[in-house]
């Protein structure tokens, strides 16, 4: 990966401001791109763009190829003449700083159904269908079949029930409209020299078009239910580990196909983003396999992944791809050797940098690295600092960490978020990324995700009034003096 020394902001599409209850691909997304440009940022980092799965998680999607219908802009639908101004007028967004997913889902579904009825297929639509039929046909059929079966998981589908052909066409239209709007936004980014850094989950949801249509590629029982599920053992995020519930892969069968599903997945993803964070990179070397039915991830075991065989194939078929390997957590020399063999930059998270090892401290950063003050799984910097100070009252290790933070950054903690941003932007790492919450100086109330917590994640949004001129100018000046603009 060689994109030059740069910096960017981590903000998922759902977290954009706007009047329809959730961020989308409409005018507010362009306002955000304008802000990035004004502040001399080069990267917009987003979470996975697929339809969200259980508890609205973007990391548990019913498709590795589809886009999230909730991102579709009502205003852009109106501009196309698919819906009227009256269709948008009476929608109430509720709490502007938190997504009410239940309300938004109802509103967007009704709006997209109206748009579908007004839509007349054209040449662009026909071209989209031809280009994407190899995955779109299966996805639309699966979604329609799931609806006909009242939303039960696919192993429980009634074999007698057939999907409604109109519903199939509806899902194809939705994917066309997502693609059209996303491509417009991506063009807007390119015109302002903003690259989009995407994020690819390691696993896919069990109740997905991918597992339903390719069950042989996953570790399933004869009844279609998972035999083993993915996760990670106990770590600094959770004492019980993380139990994701997603089926693990049947890597033997995947290799027999020449890893075709993975090649297709990467090819489609790089048609939508400019560079990519591969989540849970260590799973490609060895993955934590937990028997299905376990309540925690404690009783799992490590199993070998495809390793270099997969990435040799990817390199041969797709060339050198701009990939960042998420190498956080329990990382072995074998994982690092795999990453280095293919010259994938790793990650550093500043919040992890103040233990005794200092591995994530900026003085240890190298050029081939993407560094973050925190990720979507971390607390905000202000929340992290507040909790660290509280814990330091009773834990000596945290007292030592507080001393290291103050000494390294020569701060009294009064503007800890700016001190941390300065630390990563002045580092040697080629890529430096700041979550929007840190830029705005928000506390734990703005946290995006708490690993191990089943409900209440992914809903945070910022409001337009929070991003003022002072913040834009301060970020621009810091970026310029650090040679990242």
**Active-site choice (294, 336, 377, 400):** 377
Give the chain's length. 485
Catalytic (active site) residue 377: yes
Give the position of tokens 């919450």: 437
Under 8 Å between Cβ of 200 and 65: no
Return the DSSP state at 303: E
Return the DSSP state at 220: B
Beta bridge partners of 432: 7, 371
Report how far apart, in Å, the C-alpha atoms of 292 and of each of 60, 169, 243, 246, 485 are.
17, 35, 10, 9, 48
Answer left, alpha or beta for residue 14, where phi above 0 means left and psi between -120 and 50 means alpha: alpha
Number of other CB atoms surrounding residue 190 within 10 Å: 13
Report how far apart, in Å, the C-alpha atoms of 472 and of each of 34, 167, 291, 374 are.
11, 45, 49, 20
Catalytic (active site) residue 279: yes
Helix (H, G, I), strand (E, B) or coil at 277: strand
**Active-site choice (326, 368, 430, 438):** 326
Angle at 289 between CA 314 and CA 315, to 5 degrees: 5
- 91's CB contacts (< 8 A; 6+ apart) are 19, 20, 21, 74, 107
**Active-site choice (205, 279, 285, 438):** 279
- For residue 245, which of 294, 194, 287 has the smallest C-alpha distance? 294
Beta bridge partners of 230: 289
- 275's CB contacts (< 8 A; 6+ apart) are 1, 3, 195, 196, 197, 198, 322, 323, 324
Catalytically active residues are: 279, 326, 377
């Amino acid at each position: 990966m060689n994109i030059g020394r740069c910096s960017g902001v981590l903000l998922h599409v759902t977290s954009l401001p706007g009047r329809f209850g959730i961020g989308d691909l409409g005018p507010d997304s362009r306002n955000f791109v304008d802000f990035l440009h004004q502040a001399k940022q080069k990267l917009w980092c987003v979470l996975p763009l697929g339809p969200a799965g259980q508890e609205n998680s973007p990391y548990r999607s019913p498709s590795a190829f589809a886009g999230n219908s909730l991102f579709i802009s009502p205003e852009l639908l109106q501009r196309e003449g698919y819906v009227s101004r009256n269709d948008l007028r009476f929608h109430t967004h509720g709490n502007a700083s938190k997504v009410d997913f239940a309300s938004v889902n109802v509103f967007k579904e009704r709006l997209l159904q109206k748009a579908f009825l007004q839509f007349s297929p054209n040449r662009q639509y026909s071209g989209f269908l031809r280009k994407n039929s190899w995955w779109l046909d299966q996805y639309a059929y699966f979604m329609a079949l799931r609806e006909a079966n009242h939303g039960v998981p696919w192993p429980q589908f009634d074999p007698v029930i057939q999907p409604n052909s109109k519903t199939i066409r509806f899902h194809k239209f939705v994917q066309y409209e997502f693609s059209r709007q996303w491509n417009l936004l991506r063009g807007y980014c390119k015109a302002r020299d903003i690259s989009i850094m995407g994020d690819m989950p390691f696993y896919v949801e069990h109740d997905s078009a991918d597992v339903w249509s390719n069950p042989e590629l996953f570790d399933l029982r004869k009844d279609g239910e998972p035999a083993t599920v993915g996760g990670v053992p106990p770590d600094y995020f959770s004492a019980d580990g993380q139990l994701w519930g997603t089926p693990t892969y049947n890597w033997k069968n995947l290799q027999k196909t020449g890893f075709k599903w993975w090649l297709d997945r990467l090819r489609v993803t790089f048609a939508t983003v400019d560079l990519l964070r591969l989540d849970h990179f260590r799973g490609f070397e060895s993955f934590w396999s937990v028997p299905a039915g376990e309540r925690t991830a404690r009783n799992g075991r490590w199993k070998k992944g495809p390793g270099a065989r997969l990435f040799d194939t990817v390199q041969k078929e797709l060339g050198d791809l701009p990939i960042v390997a998420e190498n956080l957590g329990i990382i072995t020399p074998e994982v690092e050797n795999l990453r280095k063999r293919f010259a994938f930059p790793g990650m550093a998270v500043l919040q992890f940098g103040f233990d005794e090892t200092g591995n994530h401290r900026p003085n240890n950063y190298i050029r081939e690295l993407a560094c973050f003050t925190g990720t979507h799984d971390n607390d905000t910097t202000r929340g992290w600092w507040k909790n660290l100070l509280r814990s330091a009252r009773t834990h000596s290790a945290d007292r030592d960490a507080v001393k290291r933070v103050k000494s390294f950054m020569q701060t009294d903690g009064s503007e800890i978020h700016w001190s941390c941003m300065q630390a990563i932007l002045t580092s040697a790492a080629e890529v430096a990324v700041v979550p929007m919450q840190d830029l705005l100086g928000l506390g734990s109330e703005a946290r995006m995700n708490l690993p191990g917590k089943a409900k209440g994640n992914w809903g945070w949004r910022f409001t337009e009034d929070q991003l003022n001129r002072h913040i834009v100018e301060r970020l621009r000046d810091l970026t310029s003096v650090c040679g990242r603009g």
